[in-house]
């Protein structure tokens, strides 16, 4: 089998055109191409008048070695083996591992452990995904926040209420991302996620998939415990021996996966109190911006294009004050959602359904912050959390202290004046927005950098800095403000038996990368429990 990349065809190409193009690339007769499988399909829209699909395929032909020797083309090579290989089978009389958190990282750690026979116990502080959805909608529709059941906490993690992006820029030489996508398809995701360059699922499909994955884990011997908040780690001579729940119950285990997500602030405090190594790390803060999706489509494709769907963008600007500003978690045809998890604070995020057919496009426009910036809000590893809380509280006040979010027209923001009303772009955030001056909702250096960046982005995407585009605040949960250092064995550097991972521990940034990290944690746990050479 040969892997052939960079095959370009017009987006309206005939069904048999790909077969012909592969044969031409390999310099063989079309009849000599036995079969092929599309591995990836993206698009090149740099020239709007002529947009191409760009294919990667695996082609079955005879005489592979001769073709490779003859062509010496960097776009043609032997196809890699992408089938996942389990590292171990559960031995007799092992203590069941614990997985704290049922987001993408914890979910895949539990799934792979269950597939290897280790029967993990999953401890999730929130509720099952259907109940969690009701609580989340209560905030969006009725201004009622449930601190343990919301966009951040509950089955499926923060990624459940998002665009459902399933792509990442992580290095993946073992093709673990393929394992993740394959399991998602088994759980009900559309098969196209296996081939699209930028696959996404959307919130509604994620909900049913999370339920299906739970059922798979339970059939394999895994056990879920919802509304089971971990309030302490049990240690013996620095090694973990179990956890204590809020109910007072203690569960013994010498292998604990910590996959709590980037908003588990109380767990970060527990780690600090118990002497687990933890450190502050950079993250980003900013606002959500909304435009008509048609504006983005026109800028990227020349016009709306049903074949390509809603257009996306990715923008970066290095401001004069030394700050980097970039677009984050862009949601084509999506909505801005309330993502608070603590009372008296406002947090925004972006979400899309699979169809991506809502009127507006939205994205975070965020500025990098570093531990040096946290000094005004506290000291030590958790100072970044104090910074987040400060600006989330400011946003709550600016929004009217009802969980409405502060918002501002881009024209007013650039002019440095408060908005008293909004224009043609109707903000999608619920439970609603309050027109105001967003300069009170982020530090001065961030406001200055974003103002400069919006003008620069307007030169890259015509209309990006249009007066009626809407900024909504604040976006503070871009990534974890802490990292839990771990060694090559994926265990905490000073607390053996604790396996930190995913977004919360500072090792992932999105659904796919978190799930991949969960697989690595499962393998590390399995190798620690059983002999490294075990197979199954």
Whole-number pLDDT of residue 201 = 87
What one-character DSSP code corresponds to residue 97? Answer: P
**Spatial contact of 144 and 150, defined as CB atoms under 8 Å apart:** no
For residues 205-228, give the mean pLDDT: 96
Look up residue 497 and give its two tokens: 């038996």
The angle that helices 203-219 and 104-115 make with each other, rounded to 10 degrees, is 30
Whole-number pLDDT of residue 531 = 62
- Please say if the pLDDT value at position 8 is more than 70: yes
What one-character DSSP code corresponds to residue 489? Answer: T
For residues 404-410, give the mean pLDDT: 98
Placement of tokens 């933890």 in the chain: 278
- Please say if the pLDDT value at position 529 is more than 50: yes
Whole-number pLDDT of residue 263 = 96
List Cβ neighbours of 441 (8 Å cut-off, separation of 6 or more): 287, 391, 394, 395, 398, 406, 473, 474
- Please say if the pLDDT value at position 535 is more than 80: no
Whole-number pLDDT of residue 306 = 81
List Cβ neighbours of 44 (8 Å cut-off, separation of 6 or more): 8, 51, 52, 54
For residues 495-503, give the mean pLDDT: 98
Give percent of the chain above pLDDT 70.
Answer: 99
**Cα–Cα dist 160/175, whole Å:** 23
- Local confidence band at 508 (pLDDT 50, 70, 90 cut-offs): very high
Look up residue 388 and give its two tokens: 């987040």
| Mean pLDDT value across the chain | 95
- What tens digit of pLDDT does each residue of 176-193 get? 999 999 999 999 999 999
List Cβ neighbours of 257 (8 Å cut-off, separation of 6 or more): 97, 98, 99, 100, 101, 106, 109, 110, 120, 499, 501, 518, 521, 522, 525
Would you call 164 helix, strand, or coil by DSSP? Answer: coil
- What tens digit of pLDDT does each residue of 445-458 get? 999 999 999 999 99
- Local confidence band at 504 (pLDDT 50, 70, 90 cut-offs): very high
**Cα–Cα dist 22/71, whole Å:** 14
Look up residue 132 and give its two tokens: 């969690």
- Please say if the pLDDT value at position 308 is more than 60: yes
In what helix (H) or strand (E) does residue 337 lie, and over which residues does it extend?
A: strand 335-338
**Spatial contact of 143 and 89, defined as CB atoms under 8 Å apart:** no
- What tens digit of pLDDT does each residue of 317-369 get? 999 999 999 999 999 999 999 999 999 999 999 998 888 999 999 999 999 99
- Please say if the pLDDT value at position 533 is more than 80: no
Whole-number pLDDT of residue 415 = 98
């Amino acid at each position: 089998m040969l892997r052939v990349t960079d095959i370009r065809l017009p987006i309206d190409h005939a069904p048999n055109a790909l077969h012909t193009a592969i044969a031409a690339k390999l310099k063989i007769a079309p009849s000599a191409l036995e079969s092929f499988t599309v591995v990836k399909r993206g698009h090149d829209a740099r020239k709007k008048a002529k947009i191409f699909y760009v294919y990667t395929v695996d082609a079955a032909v005879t005489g592979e070695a001769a073709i490779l020797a003859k062509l010496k083309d960097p776009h043609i090579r032997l196809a890699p083996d992408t089938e996942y290989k389990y590292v171990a089978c559960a031995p007799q009389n092992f203590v069941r591992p614990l997985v704290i958190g049922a987001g993408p990282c914890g979910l895949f750690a539990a799934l792979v452990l269950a597939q290897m026979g280790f029967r993990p116990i999953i401890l999730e502080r929130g509720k099952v995904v259907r109940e969690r959805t009701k609580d989340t909608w209560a905030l969006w529709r009725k201004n009622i926040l449930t601190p343990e059941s919301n966009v951040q906490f509950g089955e499926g993690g923060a990624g459940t209420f998002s665009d459902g992006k399933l792509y990442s820029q992580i290095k993946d030489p073992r093709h673990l991302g393929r394992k993740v996508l394959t399991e998602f398809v088994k759980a009900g995701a559309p098969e196209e996620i296996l081939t699209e360059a930028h696959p996404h699922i959307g919130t509604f499909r994620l909900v049913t998939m999370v339920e299906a994955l739970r059922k798979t884990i339970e059939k394999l011997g895994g056990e879920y415990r919802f509304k089971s908040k971990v309030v302490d780690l049990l240690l013996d001579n620095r090694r973990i021996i179990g956890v204590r729940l809020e109910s007072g119950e203690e569960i013994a285990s010498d292998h604990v996966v910590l996959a709590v997500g980037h908003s588990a602030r109380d767990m970060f405090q527990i780690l600090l109190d118990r002497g687990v190594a933890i450190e502050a790390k950079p993250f980003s803060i900013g606002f959500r911006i909304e435009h008509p999706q048609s504006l983005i489509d026109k800028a990227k494709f020349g016009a709306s294009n049903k074949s390509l769907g809603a257009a996306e963008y990715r923008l970066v600007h290095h401001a004069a004050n030394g700050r980097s500003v970039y677009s984050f978690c862009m949601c084509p045809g999506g909505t801005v959602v309330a993502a608070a998890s603590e009372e008296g604070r406002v947090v925004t995020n972006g979400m899309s359904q699979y169809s991506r057919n809502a009127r507006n496009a939205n994205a975070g426009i965020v500025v990098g912050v570093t531990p040096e910036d946290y000094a005004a809000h506290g000291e030590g590893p958790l100072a970044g959390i104090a910074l987040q809380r400060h600006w989330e509280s400011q946003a709550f006040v600016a929004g009217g202290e009802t969980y409405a979010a502060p918002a501002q027209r881009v024209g007013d923001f650039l002019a440095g004046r408060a908005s008293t009303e909004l224009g043609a772009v109707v903000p999608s955030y619920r439970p609603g927005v309050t027109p105001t001056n967003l300069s009170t909702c982020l530090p001065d250096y961030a406001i200055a950098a974003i103002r400069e960046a919006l003008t620069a982005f307007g030169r890259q995407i015509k209309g990006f800095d249009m007066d009626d585009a809407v900024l909504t605040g604040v976006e503070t949960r871009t990534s974890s403000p802490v990292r839990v250092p771990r060694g090559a064995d994926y265990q905490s550097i000073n607390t053996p038996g604790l396996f930190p991972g995913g977004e919360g521990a500072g090792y992932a940034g999105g659904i796919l990368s978190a799930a991949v990290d969960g697989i690595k944690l499962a393998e590390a746990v399995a190798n620690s429990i059983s002999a490294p050479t075990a197979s199954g």
